Amino acid sequence: MIKEDQLLEQRELRDKLVNRVDVLEKVKELLLHTESATLNQVADFYEVDSETVKKAYQRNKDEIDMDGVVVKNYNYFLTGQKCTIKKLVGKSMVYYSNGDELTVPNRGINVFPRRAILRIGMLLRDSEIAKEIRNQLLNIEEKTSTEIKVQDLNEEQKLMLEIGMSVASGNTNALAIASANLVAFKNRHIEQLQQDNKALAGEILTWEDRSQINFAIRKLAATSHQQVGYVWNNLYKELKYKHHIDVKLRGDKPYIEHVKENEWSKVMKSFSAICEDNDISPSDILNNMKVSGGTK
């Protein structure tokens, strides 16, 4: 069973649970003018001072930025909202019809999407709201793990029963089939793990035609219910922060064309890591590319 301290300390656990943004509204109503929040709004949600959130963000910037943190100017906060704006020296003031106010420096302001807001909750030690967020996430993880174990146990019991019935009836053909099914069932998880490990190592597929990455990105976006541009951005961040490959500094879009030949395996590893972060088997997507040909 996963403990709260493990969630605070282990990024791989946070990566595994960061898509469960529904927990935010389950624990506390999240009043946002857009799908993203400013640092001060995040602090208000977790009922801590903004400096606490700022320190948590600075300590874990690379990790939190992977969830889509971007800098926006005041125009971003006007879309679809009833508000007025007042431009001052060095900043703009946005006044909403419900009485809320927002100060946006001319250089822009960081906005945190729901994934980033949830991740911050997994990192704030002393917020009671954050603690409840973590409790809910751990409950979900435990329940999911239990359900999977129960399903597997039921399936294994069913297969064992088929073997027993075959033995009792003396039907050697049925016994052979039932025994083979049981072996296949027990090997399923091992085989899947081996496939995923190959994908993470960049061994499952060699993309001789680099345009196939477009298919993979679109497939991942559709499977994870994310925007294609958001997935591309995550890939570039993975390359930059984990492999020190900043393709955006090398030229104009499409940035992927600036990946060097000897860096291509890093693209594979980064793509597979993003799949894992979204609880999606990279081998599923990559094998699908093999079957379909992966053309754009």
Q: Give the global pTM.
A: 0.52
Report angle CA 179, 183, 189 to the nearest 5 degrees. Answer: 155
Please determine, for residue 295, whether its predicted confidence score (pLDDT) is greater than 50. no
Q: Is residue 120 part of a domain?
A: yes
Q: Are residues 9 and 119 in the same domain?
A: yes
Q: Is residue 202 part of a domain?
A: no
- Which domain-ending residue is among 126, 148, 172? 126
In the chain, alpha helices (H): 4-9, 11-17, 22-27, 39-46, 50-59, 61-65, 114-121, 128-169, 172-200, 212-224, 228-243, 264-277, 282-292
Please determine, for residue 84, whether its predicted confidence score (pLDDT) is greater than 80. yes
Q: Is residue 198 part of a domain?
A: no
Domain count, the chain: 3
Closest CA to 101 of 84, 117, 89, 87: 84
Give the pLDDT band (50/70/90) at residue 208.
Answer: very low
Mean pLDDT of 167-177: 82
Q: Are residues 182 and 246 in the same domain?
A: no
Give the range of the structural domain holding residue 288, as residue numbers without chain letter: 212-292
Q: Are residues 115 and 29 in the same domain?
A: yes
Q: Is residue 220 part of a domain?
A: yes
Query: Residues 40-63: pLDDT tens digits?
Result: 989 999 999 999 999 999 999 988
Q: 195 or 35, which is more confident?
A: 35
Judged by average pLDDT, the poorest of 115-124, 170-179, 200-209, 212-221 is 200-209
Q: Are residues 27 and 117 in the same domain?
A: yes
Q: Are residues 76 and 155 in the same domain?
A: no
Q: Left if phi > 0, otherwise alpha if psi is -120 to 50, otherwise beta: which for 166?
A: alpha
Q: Are residues 41 and 111 in the same domain?
A: yes
Q: Identify whether the C-beta of residue 205 lies closer than 8 Å to the C-beta of residue 290.
A: yes
Q: Are residues 10 and 74 in the same domain?
A: yes
